[in-house]
Structure 1
Amino acid sequence: MTTARDLMIVAIDTPSTPPVGRGDLSLALAGAELIDLVGAEAVTLDGDRVLPDLSPGVDDPLLREAASSLVRQPPYESVEDWLWRRGRDLSAAYLAALEAEGVISRPHAHRRFRDTPPAVADSAARRRAADRWTSRDPVLTGLAAAAGIGEQPSDELVEELADDQVVIVLAEVNDAVMELEAVRQRRAIEDAAFDNVWRGF
């Protein structure tokens, strides 16, 4: 299992108000992939640039797909650009993969209620994710908080992140989620202004 898979399971298993946005979760999942690629020595961060390794040893299919999509020509890709590019619809990809593997299921429901939320099956994958979550794993906690799940990690937890590369990724994920929220707010204001104009006629 990977951090991204653990994060997806936690997102489904942990109620949050308001519900987690798919865009926020997708950005956090892209950050989780990058952190796992750093851990697998498939990439190295040079400042905010993602430098790929020539031969990444990655077993997970989605993580392997992420590694194969790395920009391999200078000046390489920034962490921010990676999050936005790789994060596009990434939550849907993880949902489909975990559903295909039987980790996640959709309970049968009346056809009028087709948007029945998925549920996590009791499995080793779920227990692993739950163990990381309940033990307040700083990486998983930080990514989840960025996506709107749970609370921001404490200073003590943040201090446990000895790897500066991980700290950079977490900071970039938080910035990207804030930027996405700003875009949503601008669109809401523009839509409201547009509606008001039409009400005047």
Structure 2
Amino acid sequence: MAKWSRFNIVSVVLGFGFLYLPIVLLVIFSFNESKLVTVWAGFSTRWYGQLWHNQGLLDAAWVTIRVALLSATCATVLGTLAALALVRYTRFRGRVLFSGMVYAPLVMPEVITGLSLLLLFVAIGLDRGFWTITLAHITFTMCFVAVVVQSRLLSFDQSIEEAALDLGATPVRTFFAITLPVIAPAVFSGWVLAFTLSLDDLVISSFTTGPGATT
């Protein structure tokens, strides 16, 4: 086994320090008694206590969680169906266009996605609020679910499904009794990824939010 050189060790330490030291400092200073971030006035939990009395922040957090739960669930269903279509039906008219539309949000900048959705909602006259944010989050998280589920379906043994069909099971029952339980870990992973991305998003939410739907 090759030994690491001092240069490699220093590079790794500096890299991880650059990534995680600001997070550690943020956690430490959240217990700061002072209102100023740059001045340490002693250890205190007063700001966590006042957090529960900030109704505006609590309302925004509740909107964020609702958007994340709903968008992640819808994106998981649509992403799983899209992955099934791309893996099981390799030849159908418009497949290239369909796959391109599914994977476009992966490479498209968030600013472009948010602005495009904003123009769409304005063009169709849809008032911006909770539902526009949810639709926007479904749009850009569905592709991540599709990628995760598709990677699992590519290694799926279809002979199990064929055996179930030969024994008289309908395609729908075969999917829910055979296919879905096998790919369930990938589906759940896609849901968690979509939920996390929804919580993390700021740019697209700022374009598609409206009165009463502050995240």
Normalising by the smaller structure, the TM-score range is under 0.3
TM-score by length of 2: 0.25
- Please identify which structure carries the higher helix content: 2
TM-score by length of 1: 0.26
Larger Rg: 2
- Please identify which structure carries the higher strand content: 1
